[in-house]
Structure 1
Amino acid sequence: MTKLFFSEYEEAEPSAPLVIFGAGGLGREVLLLLQQINATHPTWEVRGFYDDQAPATPTVAGLPYLGTSADLNATTEPLAVAVAVGSPVGRASVVRRLTAPQLSFPVLVHPHVALGPHQRIDLGEGSIVQQGCILTCDIILGRFVLLNLGCTVGHDAVLGDFASLMPHANVGGAAQLGPGTYLGTNATVIHGVHIGENTILGAGAVAVRNLPANITAVGVPARAISSK
């Protein structure tokens, strides 16, 4: 797992060029996050959006639609990319397609989220942490993890690559989420519980015991309703 410690990404090159892959609602929210970062410390020159499905209009939130993943791979200059795709499967698919060596995937953290060296938090490349999130200490987030608005992550938790937490999801201390895990809005994983790879925990569900890989679980307590 590739991880970046906070002190390694705290200072980015001023006005570095960046594009957003994903021209939908999450893409506009990530644009807002970038604007909030820039308002505190000018960091990114956001040039526009890429998406393999063209939006209905030539601009998104006032910025141009620039093309597909193939067009992005063809860029000839170093370029940072924020992958704004909510689905773990979809986000992993996009990352697999973006293969050009000049592309990089910075960690993006809202400026009001407390993250300092004393918290001992490792964040993998491409991870996005939105406004209102609380992370305590000794936490590992894998590559391209998404923490949407107002999520909490407790001590010693481990979130695998491409895990996605929707708004106000909660992960207890020492919990572990496998790669590709998806937690719906207000879902909760209590202390020490393990969630298997690619498992979906539905909105408002509470996982009070370990859940296997490749299932969808809902309810309180969470129970499997389907498997992949």
Structure 2
Amino acid sequence: MSQLFFPEYDSFDAALPLVIFGAGGLGREVAVLIHQINEAATAPLWELRGFYDDVAPAAATVAGLPYLGTAADLNAAREPLHVAVAVGSSAGRAAVVSRLTSPKLFFPTLLHPGVAHEPYQNLQLAEGCIVQQGCILTTDIQLGRFVLLNLGCTLGHDAALADFCSLMPHANVGGAARLETGVYLGTNATVIQGVRVGAGTIVGAGAVAVRDLPAGITAVGVPARAIL
């Protein structure tokens, strides 16, 4: 599992260089998260240097920071860099990570300082996870690599989310639910207790999964059903 960078636990002699891959709206939201982590720490943990994206933004700057280039440019970095991958799509985020191959790149787990994360909760978060403001994780929860929890998501006891899962704002995962690799939950989607969702499945905004869903489908409605 990755080291977690929690302001009250960690201090560094100097802020670590960090860039964001993804120059869209989510990237700007992750920049806010970085500022919030720094503000909660006794000294800034991160030196936020700018944005990378394979599609150049319309302006030379994003949220007041420079656009620095593509994945190829990031792979060519001459110094160690920490990278936050701010791509909302599960498949898109996995594709970006597969292209970032330089041994000089590191992927910290970033968790909003207001999210409870005491040792007795037994939260296991792998590298590259991003957990935004307002999320609630209760106890004995596992997040795989590069899991995204957007604003206000809730995860119940013993929930397990595999690599590259994406939860949009206010998505809810019940106790002992299992989300396999690359599952995407839309805004306000819910997976109730004990339900398993197969790899790559999309649960649409507001949908409620009340029984297991197979891999590779899109499910909508209450209860959630596959659409053609």
Aligned pair count? 224
Question: For the structure 1 residues 72 and 12, does the alpha-carbon distance in structure 2 shift closer, same or farther, using more than 3 Å as the test?
Answer: farther
Identity %: 70
Partner of 1:189: 191
Question: Could you tell me which amino acid in structure 2 is paired with residue 39 of structure 1?
Answer: E
Give the match's secondary structure for 1:4. coil
Question: Could you tell me which amino acid in structure 2 is paired with residue 47 of structure 1?
Answer: R
Aligned match for 2:128, one of 126, 129, 137: 126
Structure-1 separation of matches of 2:5 and 2:82: 19
What is the TM-score normalised by the length of structure 1? 0.96
Shift of 1:4: 3.1
Shift of 1:8: 9.1
Question: Could you tell me which amino acid in structure 1 is paired with residue 10 of structure 2?
Answer: E
Structure-2 separation of matches of 1:72 and 1:7: 22
Check whether the contact 1:19–1:48 (CA below 8 A) recurs between aligned residues.
yes
Question: Could you tell me which amino acid in structure 2 is paired with residue 120 of structure 1?
Answer: N
Partner of 1:144: 146
Partner of 1:99: 101
Structure-1 separation of matches of 2:146 and 2:11: 18
Aligned match for 2:60, one of 31, 38, 58: 58
Question: Could you tell me which amino acid in structure 1 is paired with residue 25 of structure 2?
Answer: G
Q: How does 1:44-83 map to 2 (within 5 A)?
A: 44-83=46-85
Task: Note the residue ranges of structure 1 that are not aligned, 5 or more in a row.
Answer: none
The answer to whether the aligner puts 1:153 opposite 2:152 as a matched pair is no
Partner of 1:24: 24
Shift of 1:223: 0.3
Structure-2 separation of matches of 1:148 and 1:108: 12
What is the TM-score normalised by the length of structure 2? 0.96
Partner of 1:112: 114
Structure-2 separation of matches of 1:8 and 1:113: 10
Structure-1 separation of matches of 2:54 and 2:94: 14
Shift of 1:116: 1.4
Structure-1 separation of matches of 2:103 and 2:75: 8
The answer to whether the aligner puts 1:4 opposite 2:22 as a matched pair is no
Map Cα deviations across residues 186-220 of structure 1 (whole Å, 9 max, x no partner): 00000000000000000000000000000000000
Structure-2 separation of matches of 1:110 and 1:39: 11
Query: Over aligned residue pairs, what C-alpha RMSD do you find?
Result: 1.4
Check whether the contact 1:6–1:117 (CA below 8 A) recurs between aligned residues.
no
Question: For the structure 1 residues 147 and 128, does the alpha-carbon distance in structure 2 shift closer, same or farther, using more than 3 Å as the test?
Answer: same
Shift of 1:5: 6.4
Question: Could you tell me which amino acid in structure 2 is paired with residue 96 of structure 1?
Answer: S
Shift of 1:131: 0.1
Map Cα deviations across residues 91-117 of structure 1 (whole Å, 9 max, x no partner): 000000000001000000000000011
Question: Could you tell me which amino acid in structure 1 is paired with residue 52 of structure 2?
Answer: Y
